[in-house]
A and B are shown apart, each in its own frame.
Chain A
Amino acid sequence: MRGVAIARLAWLNVRRRPSRTLAAATSVAVGVAAVLATLSLGDNVQANLTAELQRSALGSDVRVVAAAGERTVFQSDAAVALLASEPVVRQVTTRLEVLAEPQDPAVENTAVRLPGFDSGFTLVGLARNRHEGSVGALAEGRWPAVGANEVALTRSFASARGFAVGEALSFGTPYGPLGLTVVGVLEDGQGVSALNQGRVGMVERETLTEGLGLAGRATQLDVTLVDPTESAVEAALTRFDGRLPANLMALRATAPAGGSGGLLQTLEAGLQVLAVMLVVLGSFMAYNTFAASALDRRHELRLLRTVCFAARDVRALALWEAAITAGAGVALGVILGLLLTWLLASLNALVLGFTVSTLSVSPAAVVMAALAGVLAGLVAAWKPARDAAFDAPLGVTPSPGARPAAHRGVRVLVGAGVGLTAAVLPVSGWPALLAAGVALVALAVTLVIGGQHAVGPLTALLRHRPANRTTERQLLAGFVERNAERNGVAMATVAVGVGLVLGVAGMITSINAEVRHWVDATIAGDLFVTSPSGFPAEFGAQSEAIPGVAEASPVAVRVVRADAEATRPRSVSAVFVEPERYQLAQNLGGFVTPDGRGDTAALARDLAAGDVLVSEVLGRRMDLQTGSTLMLRTLSGVEPFRVAGTVVDFTAGGDSLVVGYSALERFGGGRPNVFVIGLDAGVSAGDARTWLRDAFPDTQLVATSSEQYRASIVAAVNSSFAATQSLLVLAMLLAGLGVANALAMNLNVRAHEWAVLRALGMTRVRAVRLAAAEGMLITLVGIVFGSAFGLLLSRLVAQGASAITGFALTPAVPLGTLVWLWFGAIPLGVLASVWPAVRVTRLAPAQAFDAEGLKG
């Protein structure tokens, strides 16, 4: 009964203080939103990519493509007949997709396609009348006609390259040049436009098959089932796999193509770490608000203690209020979280090049975020509630032993000890992830608890050098000191935010450093040449005949199916190189072993002998070591390959292996994707480019320098980090909000003192300056602590991410980010101080009398 009465009183209190309730609920909401957005980001990106694949499936349920290791263009008639005879199949259509590059004689194109990173421009040939309603929409012009050499380009591609309706273009393809007239512009993100990140042109299938001499060939069969339900699709896939020839495989229409999400896996690991930290930041803000509320109402709570409340009733009242407020915060947070998820997904879409069409938030993520919010609210309210409960009734002087000692120093030591021990434990794999998690949480909590200890030295510093002591400095020191607990936690908030930024930025820097090292150590040619129309058979030999060209070595990248005993099969990228030439001594490229001390010449010999080299990442993921056997699917079936060693390779995000070029025919053959050209000393890349173009006028060669090629690969890797970087910005904004929240609460508690200062003659400008100085000080100290914490955190994040993804990350110091943070601290501090400072200016000096003086 008493509990009900207390709950009712709590409800009334919450309702009657709408502004405070809103402030506390917003704090909880920010945490909930951050958690929801973080947890949903990966799902959301995935869902949008799936939705894009769904759109690009053009209404089909199953797609049949060449099996990994097979030629991508296959004879389709027999397979079409076979599938059409299946009773579960409603329709089978063929699709022919061909890599192509529009040739613009006015512009010299030096942007080569990066095999394993970049899918280039594609012409999609299909029978439009068989995909009615799912092929997309026209933005301008008309559809290409059957039997005419016409193409419709996506709006984004046409706009980027400056192509307009009516323009006649020549496309270079691996099967020869093809002249097409642009007759239409397609709306982006729909049907065909959703393919290949919008870099497509749609033509009638016959135009391609006739124009390129590929009659009866296809790259994909789109199969529509009579029953499109999940179970029916599953049953059809099983049946098709049993009946289709070995060179073909059936996939769900929305299944992504081969390749690896290695980097995305790494990023998601970082995001999970971020989610934990964002809850801590949100909780801190809620704590501040609850603490300020308890302080504000101290007299009221003491009165209740005097009249009818026991200490535990006061605690119960405060916790009830927190629970109700947290409930409101969760509701608000879910809405904010959805908005944030959408914003983050849109940002990623912009960078990663997909279209946001759906908002996917799993119920589990909502439940997790809601639980985190309620828990954060209650944890945040616990201490203020406890403090309020220890307040004596009116007229009673509290006895010295009434309030138990906090033992904060012991807690800090224990937290730091646990964190540091977990951080340096020499473990790997999942135990490493667990250790990293424990260390991370322990150190963050230690920072939050121990942040106020930083206040002592800080105020001592402010009071140092008596000759220079000014009253304002003393006031500032006093302010910082008297709100040591809140300011300490605010500093810790900034420190955790900065630590997060540095930690995750360290991970990114580490990955970048690895990639750059790989690029620098293995890509050593002078010129990189690709040809959308395919290289002539003797391109290498003919190139080397050109005076000034020392060497020309082919490189091919294919998706192959790999199987190892310990792990499940996966599609990986096989990089085919010439071992005898692909050595750094040849100045064309080479291998680099993870420790940098491996015998690369021996590796090249093993490669020439038919062994394979696996990337370090793939080795970890598939548990492969030197001497292991890797089963790879070839034209002759699944064959064993000996792993000769581990090398650093980030093709397809690290899901890659290196194979001797002579084995290419066993994996479907075809032409190389790129030629690496070595030039004689003194020959410029520009001259060599001209000579090669002159020597091969029909191949539409695209040639780029080594520097540009390397930069393109690093840029391609960097673009994957958009998600993480957007969350880092969020973390810093939350840290700023934490400081603003702490300052605002400090102001609430000291409102009377500010009024006295104003009454004594402190101008608004000086008051604002003093309030802002406190904010700047908290921010700066937080950044100093955060910088140190961040360096430790980068080790932990790298450790955790390595355990999840297989990337061997060496913790790196993100110097650029560090500098940015130090400079960014000034606007962050100013930003955090703006609202509290504005409130200071609004304080009427007359309040100096209101609080304590005459009421007459």
Chain B
Amino acid sequence: MRAERMKSMPHATLEAKGLSKTYDAGAGPVTALTDINLSVHSGRFASVMGPSGSGKSTLLKLFGLLDTPTAGEVRLEGRATSGLNDAERTRLRAARIGFVFQSFELIPTLTVAENITLPASLEGRLKQSGERLAWLAGQLGLEGLLNRRPGTLSGGQRQRVALARALINEPALVLADEPTGNLDRAAGLNVLQLLRDGVDAWGWTVMMVTHDPNGAMMTDDVFFLQDGRLVDRVDPHTDDGRRDLARFVTGEDG
């Protein structure tokens, strides 16, 4: 099914071309990313792995249009984003990108329903989002929780709310930052399965940063970063890919 969908997709949802990022860290410039080239096609579940300081977070910020590259370009749905100003980036982000954070980042004073519809409200589409909200609540098992506050929910429930929020505007891309990092194993698995199911059933495009090899195993493409460089890309559904993944995680390849 995945292969059929890939064939039908005319272009990559997310493309990085020669992406580099250098920070001024006071004591001199620090290179966080160097010449990253990758693409994630629509309906794919990709993940990024790498040790601490490898540039995963920086890459996610650039993909989320939260930061601008020093060199290279991020293309979203075939559209170049380099020349966009802050307001244009913000509008594009609100309309086409959904975020899932490790710490959920729900607004504690809003109800579950209000949290989920927040991006739609910011887009001025609150009234039109009712149907989508009901559908997402059904898909993610949130029906009975819509009028509750985040503080009364379990970690797994909160992350499902965060996922619903990320999907309310039917984004082209969902960026997930360690979505299972603050969850127990069962709740983490549940969230990963939801993402997997969404990609398979509804064609979501997800890019996830993770440290968890089991999580990465559930994705279609795993990109390995090391010292700011893209060092490998594997398909964990193949034997070679699984072997590469294991070798990378155990650090056998150096």
Taking Cβ atoms with an 8 Å cutoff, the residues of A that contact B are 470-472, 474-475, 477-479, 481-482, 752-753, 756-766, 844-846, 848-850, 852-856
Contact = CB atoms under 8 A, between A and B. Distances in A.
A848 B99 contact: yes
A856 B101 contact: no
Contacts of A472: 121
27 contacts: A470-B121, A471-B110, A471-B118, A471-B121, A475-B107, A475-B109, A475-B110, A477-B109, A478-B109, A757-B107, A757-B118, A760-B119, A761-B91, A761-B94, A761-B95, A761-B119, A763-B90, A765-B87, A848-B66, A849-B177, A850-B57, A853-B57, A853-B60, A853-B103, A854-B60, A855-B52, A856-B51
Nearest to B90: A763
B232 interface: no
A761 B122 contact: yes
A852 B122 contact: no
Contact of B66 (A474, A759, A855): A759
Interface string B5-41: 0000000000000000000000000000000000000
B227 to A, nearest CB: 11
Contacts of B94: 760-762
B130 interface: no
Interface string B60-103: 11001011000000000000000000110011011100010111
Interface string B116-132: 01110111001000000
B90 A764 contact: yes
Contacts of B93: 759-761, 845
B101 A853 contact: yes
A855 B57 CA distance: 6
Given A472-B121, A760-B119, A764-B87, A856 B102 contact: no
Contacts of A850: 57
Contacts of A752: 105
A848 B95 CA distance: 18
Given A471-B114, A849-B60, A854-B209, A764 B86 contact: yes
B43 interface: no
Contacts of A475: 107, 109-110
Interface of B: 50-57, 60-61, 64, 66-67, 86-87, 90-91, 93-95, 99, 101-103, 105, 107-110, 114, 117-119, 121-123, 126, 165, 177-178, 209, 225
Nearest to A478: B109
A767 to B, nearest CB: 10
A852 B64 contact: no
A538 B88 CA distance: 90
A478 B57 contact: no
Question: Nearest 7 pairs between A and B by C-beta?
Answer: A761-B94, A478-B109, A471-B121, A854-B57, A852-B103, A846-B66, A856-B56
Given A471-B121, A475-B110, A763-B91, 11 more contacts: A471-B117, A474-B110, A756-B101, A764-B86, A848-B99, A849-B61, A853-B177, A854-B60, A854-B102, A856-B52, A856-B54
B199 to A, nearest CB: 21
B99 A474 contact: no
Contacts of B119: 760-761
A607 B54 CA distance: 101
A414 B52 CA distance: 56
Most buried by B among A471, A481, A482: A471
A478 B123 CA distance: 20
B50 A753 contact: no
B34 to A, nearest CB: 15
Contacts of A477: 109
Nearest to B55: A856
A760 B53 CA distance: 25
A856 B61 CA distance: 12
Contacts of A478: 107-110
B118 A760 contact: yes
Contacts of A849: 57, 60-61, 66, 101, 177
Contacts of B126: 470-471
Contacts of B99: 759-760, 848
Given A760-B122, A854-B178, A856-B53, A482 B102 contact: no
A474 B114 contact: yes
Nearest to A482: B109
Contacts of A846: 61, 66-67
A479 B54 CA distance: 36
A760 B86 CA distance: 13
A479 B50 CA distance: 37
A19 B117 CA distance: 38
Contact of B108 (A482, A765, A845): A482
B48 to A, nearest CB: 9
A446 to B, nearest CB: 27
Nearest to A472: B121
A463 to B, nearest CB: 10
A852 B101 CA distance: 8
A66 B53 CA distance: 92
A660 to B, nearest CB: 76
A820 B82 CA distance: 50
Nearest to B102: A853
Nearest to A841: B86
B52 A852 contact: no
B121 to A, nearest CB: 4
Given A756-B101, A854-B177, A844 B110 contact: no
Contact of A844 (B66, B105, B118): B66
Given A475-B107, A475-B110, A846-B66, A855 B122 contact: no
Q: Which has the most chain B C-beta neighbours within 10 Å: A757, A760, A853, A855?
A: A760
A845 B118 CA distance: 16
Contacts of B108: 478, 482
Most chain B CB within 10 A, of A478, A759, A846, is at A759
B107 A762 contact: no
Contact of A854 (B56, B121, B122): B56
A58 B93 CA distance: 78
A759 B177 CA distance: 13
A849 B54 CA distance: 15
Q: Which among A470, A479, A762, A845 has the highest number of chain B CB atoms within 10 Å?
A: A845
